[in-house]
Amino acid sequence: MIDFQTFQELNRLYADYAAALDNQEWEKWPEFFVEDCVYKVQARENYERNLPLCLIDFESKGMLKDRINGATDTMYHDPYYQRHVVGVPCLLSVSDDVIRCEANYAVFRTQPSQPTTVFNVGRYIDEIVRTADGLKLRSRICVYDSELIPNSLIYPI
């Protein structure tokens, strides 16, 4: 069990994460993670079968920074906006140094001249640790429900 203040910090972490991505503040994204972190985007079928194949599999904050650099400075794509709707985190376990939790998410994508579409739906499976700078993600696995992702996955989920 965690105290009320820690639960509020956990909710703030989830809200700030979604807001940074929705506001296209890409440079903030790696700062939600510790240096030695894991970030994966994986199909539900592979996750549930314990199969290793992922769309994205990063193993450090440096890799997250490289992804943002690539997505913003070297890739060309039609402009679009994302909007994250994230559920309240559900605690799975709490130890002295790690909070394990998950939350459902839905990501909507809007291209300026197109109707909004559902881009990706699933759940975050997280390990969160307390640092001198507050709560940070040690691991985030984005387990998406569909076997397909329309177009391409450019920005973080």
pLDDT tens string 26-42: 999 999 999 999 999 99
Closest of 110, 108, 138, 105 to residue 124, by C-alpha? 105
Residue span of the structural domain in which 114 resides: 4-144
Q: Is 138 within the bounds of a domain?
A: yes
Q: Is 149 within the bounds of a domain?
A: no
Count of structural domains, the chain: 1
In whole numbers, what is the pLDDT of the chain averaged over residues?
A: 93
Q: Is 22 within the bounds of a domain?
A: yes
Per residue in 44-77, pLDDT tens? 999 999 999 999 999 999 999 999 988 787 666 6
CA 75 to chain centre: 20
- The CATH number of residue 66's host domain is 3.10.450.50
Q: Is 154 within the bounds of a domain?
A: no
Alpha carbon distances (Å) from 35 to 58, 80, 155? 11, 29, 20
